Amino acid sequence: MKATEVIADLRRRFPHEPEYLQAVEEVLTSIEDVYNEHPEMERYNLVERLCIPDRIFSFRVSWVDDKGKVHNNMGYRVQHNNAIGPYKGGIRFHSSVNLSILKFLAFEQTFKNSLTTLAMGGAKGGSDFSPRGKSDMEVMRFCQAFVEELWRHIGPDTDVPAGDIGVGGREVGYMYGMYKKMAREFTGTFTGKGLEFGGSLIRPEATGYGNVYFLLEMLKTRGIDLKGKKVAISGSGNVATYTAKKLLELGAKVVSMSDSDGTVHIPDGLTDEQLDYIFKLKNFYRGRIREFAEEYGCEYYEGEHPWLRVKCDIAMPSATQNEIDGDDAEALVANGCIAVSEGANMPSTPDAIKVFQKARLLYAPGKAANAGGVSVSGLEMAQNSQKLNWTAEEVDEKLRGIMKDIHAQCVKYGTEPDGYINYVKGANVAGFMKVANAMMAQGIL
Ligand code: NDP
Ligand code: 2IT
């Protein structure tokens, strides 16, 4: 089947999965030309096989809250593709989680992992359980119940989960503990573990730092200095906070942070002390960004994303999918934004991407810009296999090298005749070619 026919067919078969269809369409439209140059791939119906996950596990997760009430959540693992390595990808705990979202994330992860240069296939999992407002004991009981079912589907050379929205060091620790007990082995299944039990230095920082390293590469293509630039960030979780930390270290100004309740605007730029406050607020007190705004007397926009109101040179969306729509993108461009580097997965809608590309912005899709997180997960797996630990400097150096390499792949496959680098096309084609060649070599499975 031709790429366009595959999209139409998937629309017919999975009409209630908008995020999945959105992600597939973005990739297929940008690889279409390259795919059409390879009739042997079409003969093997390769694109359709690459779009449909290898398998999906779904299960009920029953757990008891502190008051003795019984809850039943859904649990999922989407094993999308393992042509180039064991399934690998995060776990998301959020009330919005459903199969459409996890299928889009697992699909994206396959291309992202291919770009990292490491041997990792693509997967994603999660639950419609939200840790927000739950006690530590409730989160622990939920994680244990989730892994009681998940454990039989994963393993160090089979499928290695990690964190994502709602899953940080605390949740990975509880899940890994239960996995270890059920599987009766201490292997590196799960990344993002604590340093005492096989975690890697720089893994918590990796997605945010990696995104800034990617941004630096993009700015370099136009001879632009990051110093003094105003950067609007959304989110205030793992990716957002470590993006902010690296930006401050490099002399940029962070002018916004947000959460699902609203946005805080800091026109003069966040200070190191304020960022420390946000780290503590989010990781220890599990509070809201509104509390930060109150503490420091900053403007707070209830229920809003940063994009319409916060003037910036650079936008780094780091919260969730489809958080920048066409109008947001128009506002960013009108306000002088020159670059968008995505920490989140698919934060820009197709309309927003069109606006950015039409205005010739430096625009990096998540699968390239946020690949630093899973890259250091890959490095954590490598350290676990060798049963040794690398220093922070060693890991950071490798992370920089990988982000540079991903940027180079985007330039190679995405540079248009007028010199504009289409990072969407570059990332999709480069990610696709490696997986497609591996699938062709391995036969029809
Ligand atoms: P966290 O749970 O640590 O933080 C998520 C942040 O985004 C929180 O501030 C949260 O606010 C906000 N948020 C979540 N959902 C929504 C929503 N529906 N609307 C508005 N704000 C929302 O997650 P991460 O920082 O790990 O993940 C952020 C993004 O980065 C996700 O898209 C994830 O897929 C992606 N990513 C993560 C990687 C990682 O290594 N962790 C690697 C690569 C990509 P609130 O607290 O109110 O929910
Ligand atoms: O979207 C992502 O790349 C992640 N959530 C990290 C996945 C991983 O396995 O580290």
Atom of ligand 1 nearest to the CA of 206: 40
Q: Is 373 in the pocket of ligand 1 (CB under 6 A)?
A: yes
What pairs with residue 301 in β-bridges?
263
User: What does the alpha-carbon distance between residue 128 and residue 230 come to, in Å, rounded to a whole number?
Assistant: 35
Q: What is the pLDDT of residue 434?
A: 97
Give me ligand 2 centre to Cα 304, in Å.
26
Q: Which of 207, 202, 203, 209 minimizes the C-alpha distance to 247?
A: 209
Q: Which helix (H) or strand (E) holds 100?
A: helix 99-115
Q: Which ligand is nearest to the CA of 190?
A: 2
User: What does the alpha-carbon distance between residue 129 and residue 141 come to, in Å, rounded to a whole number?
Assistant: 12
- pTM summary value: 0.98
Both tokens assigned to 108: 């994206």
Q: Which ligand is nearest to the CA of 278?
A: 1
In this structure, the residue with its CA closest to atom 48 of ligand 1 is 260
Q: Which ligand is nearest to the CA of 161?
A: 2
Q: What is the pLDDT of residue 173?
A: 98
Residues 6+ apart with CB under 8 A from 133: none
Q: What is the pLDDT of residue 279?
A: 96
Give me ligand 2 centre to Cα 89, in Å.
5
Catalytic machinery residues: 124
Q: What is the pLDDT of residue 383?
A: 98
Q: Is 342 in the pocket of ligand 1 (CB under 6 A)?
A: no
Q: What is the pLDDT of residue 328?
A: 98
Q: What is the pLDDT of residue 1?
A: 77
Q: Which of 78, 127, 165, 207 to mutate to test the pocket of ligand 1 (most atoms within 8 A of CB)?
A: 165
Atom of ligand 2 nearest to the CA of 345: 1
- Helices 372-386 and 392-414: crossing angle in degrees, nearest 10, is 130
Whose tokens are 């359709």? That residue is 48
Q: 183 and 151 in contact (C-beta within 8 Å)?
A: yes
Both tokens assigned to 146: 């989730």
CA distances from 325 to 306, 345, 431 (A): 12, 14, 25
Alpha helices in 224-309 (DSSP H): 238-249, 272-283, 289-296
Residues 6+ apart with CB under 8 A from 215: 226, 314, 316, 339, 341, 364, 369
CA distances from 389 to 173, 201, 282, 368, 438 (A): 18, 8, 28, 26, 30
In this structure, the residue with its CA closest to atom 3 of ligand 1 is 237
Both tokens assigned to 308: 């319409």
- Which residues' Cβ are closer than 6 Å to ligand 2? 88-90, 109, 112, 162, 164, 191, 345, 373-374, 377
Atom of ligand 1 nearest to the CA of 96: 18
User: What does the alpha-carbon distance between residue 94 and residue 100 come to, in Å, rounded to a whole number?
Assistant: 14
Give me ligand 2 centre to Cα 268, in Å.
32
Q: Which residues of the chain have pLDDT under 70?
A: none
Q: What is the pLDDT of residue 3?
A: 84
Give me ligand 1 centre to Cα 194, in Å.
20
Q: What is the pLDDT of residue 352?
A: 98
Q: Is 318 in the pocket of ligand 1 (CB under 6 A)?
A: yes
